[in-house]
Amino acid sequence: MPELPEVETTVAGLRSVLEGRTLTLVEPRRADLRVPFPPDLRQRMTGARVERLGRRAKYGLVETDRGDMMIFHLGMSGRWRVDPDEIGKHDHLVLETGEGRRLALCDPRRFGFVELVRTEAWEAYPPFAKMGPEPLGDIFTGKLLHKMLSGKATSIKAALLDQRVVAGLGNIYVCEALHISGISPRKQAGKLTARQCDALAAAIKAVLLSAIAAGGSSLRDYARPDGELGYFAKEWRVYGREGEDCPACGATVLRRAEGGRSTFYCGVCQK
């Protein structure tokens, strides 16, 4: 469940293996994931030195000394395996460094993808062009959120999942942030008060920082690149806790399916 904290954790793990290292092997194992691998990925990346790793929203960024940036998205089930014993059928891209370290991008559902852009033009990469602010950045405040939401007829939950409003949130952390700030997921986005937006922005930052500190959330098929599991799942207040007691008021945590996606919330303390 790669949302922002899991991608941040992943990038930190990759950094220790890749940064400053030369790629001696870059091998796609099939033609495509959600979209085709760039046809020249192997040729442009092999022999390149990795200068820097970064993250934008849920995307991982790998900059090389050739002016290229490899962008990866983990989709729903993607993860990087570090020094795997063997390459399995879901390992769709394999990298090796001059030190003999090996990385495999494993993605059973294949909703992830890899792109290659010129570093100087990375912000023009279409998914980034209209993307909203990073929630952990200084420019993301309750005031800005209030402005972004004004006039929106959709629910606050749908608005927070819209990457043009704020970039990097997914189903888990939206559910968690709404619970922390006591706001109903069904509340009309444009009707939130300035005060509620302040509380919501603060809750978003707090939950993301806690999750990053815990190494991300551990889900069925997610692990950090080094194989360690993230611990944040133990700290979920409502997500995945249908039928349990609300940690704030003791009422029963509810789940409702909307658009093929589950929302977890407390009907008593989220208004």
Partner DNA sequence: CTTGTAACCTGTCTGC
Partner DNA sequence: TGCAGACAGGTTACAA
Mark 66-85 with x for binding to DNA (rule: CB under 7 A) and - for no binding. Answer: -------x-xxx--------
How do strand 50-56 and strand 59-64 relate by DSSP bridges?
antiparallel
The Cβ of residue 147 has, within 10 Å, a number of other Cβ atoms equal to 12
Please identify, using beta-carbon distances, which residue of 38 and 170 lies nearer to DNA.
170
Find the shortest distance in angstroms from Cβ 41 to DNA.
18
Active site residue 3: yes
Chain Cα centroid distance, residue 70: 17
Count of H helices and E strands in the chain?
7, 10
Q: Does 1 bind DNA (CB under 7 A)?
A: yes
Among 120, 129, 138, 259, binds DNA (CB under 7 A): 259
Active site residue 261: yes
Please identify, using beta-carbon distances, which residue of 119 and 171 lies nearer to DNA.
171
Could you tell me which residues are beta bridge partners of residue 156?
none
CA separation, residue 229 to residues 40, 94, 168, 170, 222 (Å): 34, 22, 21, 19, 8
Q: Does 93 bind DNA (CB under 7 A)?
A: no
Please identify, using beta-carbon distances, which residue of 58 and 102 lies nearer to DNA.
58
Residues 28, 56, 58, 135: which is the catalytic one? 58
Q: Does 3 bind DNA (CB under 7 A)?
A: yes
DSSP notation for 166-202: SSS--HHHHHHHHHHTT--TTSBGGG--HHHHHHHHH
Radius of gyration for the chain, computed over Cα atoms and rounded to the nearest angstrom = 19
Q: Does 229 bind DNA (CB under 7 A)?
A: no
Q: Does 36 bind DNA (CB under 7 A)?
A: no
Q: Which amino acid is at 267?
A: G
Active site residue 81: no
Contact 102, 79 (CB under 8 A): no
Q: Does 234 bind DNA (CB under 7 A)?
A: no
Question: Which residues 146-185 are close enough to bind DNA by CB under 7 A?
Answer: 152-155, 158, 161, 163, 169-172
Active site residue 191: no
Sign of CA dihedral 223, 236, 2, 135: negative
- Stretch in the footprint of DNA (CB under 7 A) among 12-20, 21-29, 41-49, 214-222: 214-222
Q: Does 34 bind DNA (CB under 7 A)?
A: yes
Distance from C-alpha of 41 to C-alpha of 228, rounded to nearest angstrom: 29
Q: Does 9 bind DNA (CB under 7 A)?
A: no
Catalytic residues: 2-3, 58, 261
Binding site for DNA (CB under 7 A): 1-3, 6, 34, 57-58, 73, 75-77, 89-90, 108-111, 126-127, 152-155, 158, 161, 163, 169-172, 217-222, 257-262
